[in-house]
Amino acid sequence: MTKTLAEKIEMLPSLKVTVDAYGLMAKKALGQNFLLDSNITNKIIKLSLEKQNLKDYHGIYTYEVGPGPGGLTRAILSQSPEKLTVVEMDERCINIMEDIKAKVGEKLEIINGDALQEDFTNKDKAPRHIISNLPYNISVPLLVKWLKDIKHFQSLTLMFQKEVAERIMAKTETKDYGRISILSQLSCKIEKLMDLNPNCFTPAPKIWSSVLLFTPLERKLTQEQISKIERISTLAFGQRRKMLRQSLKTISNIEEILEKLNIPSTLRAENLTPKQYLELANNI
């Protein structure tokens, strides 16, 4: 009888045995912290699916960046995706991915490369989901890249350092509120799925981690709007203690635009809501 994907994954050796077999020590230079507890990786996937009212990943193309020893990879494959594409720079981890591919066949595609250079938007047909425990050192650049292309994805389930997650979800007039808060909140509904203690990882980092679910909003930003929002927020938060009339003074007619939008020119960067940044972008 043909085995299911989940059954094939169950036949693999434990993550600890796999890591020991390959002498896989996490590399700080690659931002690696490995999650070896299958109860946690399975819970991440279960919570993400539940929030999206999905039974599994049947018929869905999934993508993972930095799979490491494959804990999250196994959890994703157990939920029967149409295909899982993993992008990994570490040759040691590529070998582990090849072991998994030997069990599951063409359901797993392996790319040995830099995720920042990979374009998932035209690889496979929709629906597309990204699920990753992101390498800490490139988590924000990757998120920005995907937010700019969010119309091509059905969801992003991503793990960040907790402090980065707090910046992403930060509210107006808080110290964590900034450029990534604005772009994220104008692009997606964002929900926290769980926080993870440092002891869940090998090696244990000094900070907690958080898993966030990004669901694209119906109203999609245009590339022109994104470009303008980035310009405005860069200027505003580059001099966040200055009033808008000063920090945005290089924008033509900025005081007239602020007045038209009923935004006091004496406000500062953190006082404006994401919606107000979008209104500014639409008027410059």
57-86: pLDDT as tens digits: 999 999 999 998 999 999 999 999 999 999
SS3 (DSSP) at 129: strand
Residue 23 backbone class (left: φ over 0; alpha: ψ -120 to 50; beta: rest): left
CB atoms within 10 A of CB 171: 12
Angle of helix 162-169 versus helix 179-187 axis, rounded to 10:
70
- pLDDT at residue 32 in the model: 60
* Residue whose structure tokens are 């800490």: 136
Tokens at residue 137, please? 């050192």
* Cα 161 from Cα 158, distance rounded (Å): 10
| Confidence class for position 31, pLDDT limits 50, 70, 90 | low
Compare 7 and 271 and report the one with higher pLDDT: 271
- Residue 192 CA to residue 157 CA, distance in Å, equals 10
pTM assigned to the model:
0.92
Tell which CATH architecture fits domain 223-281. Orthogonal Bundle (1.10)
- Mean pLDDT computed over 107-116: 96
pLDDT of residue 28: 56
Supply the pLDDT for residue 4. 87
CA distances from 139 to 48, 135, 142, 150 (A): 19, 6, 5, 16
CA–CA separation, 211 and 255 (whole Å):
40
What pLDDT does residue 205 have?
A: 77
**pLDDT digit string, tens, across residues 80-111:** 999 999 999 988 889 999 999 999 999 999 99
Please tell me the CATH superfamily of domain 5-216, with its number.
Vaccinia Virus protein VP39 (3.40.50.150)
The residues spanned by each domain of the chain are: 5-216, 223-281
Tokens coding 97 = 């991915």
Contact 52, 130 (CB under 8 A): no
Q: Please say whether the beta carbons of 172 and 240 come within 8 A.
A: no
Residues 208/195, Cβ–Cβ less than 8 Å: yes
pLDDT digits (tens, 9 = 90+) for 217-264: 999 999 999 999 999 999 999 998 999 999 999 999 999 999 999 999
Query: Looking at the predicted structure, is the pLDDT value of residue 29 above 70?
Result: no
The answer on pLDDT for 161 being more than 90 is: yes
pLDDT, mean over the chain: 92
- What's the average model confidence in pLDDT over 117-135? 92
Cβ contacts of residue 48 below 8 Å, gap of 6+?
A: 131, 155, 157, 193, 211, 213
* Percentages of the chain per state (helix, strand, coil), in multiples of 5: 45, 20, 35
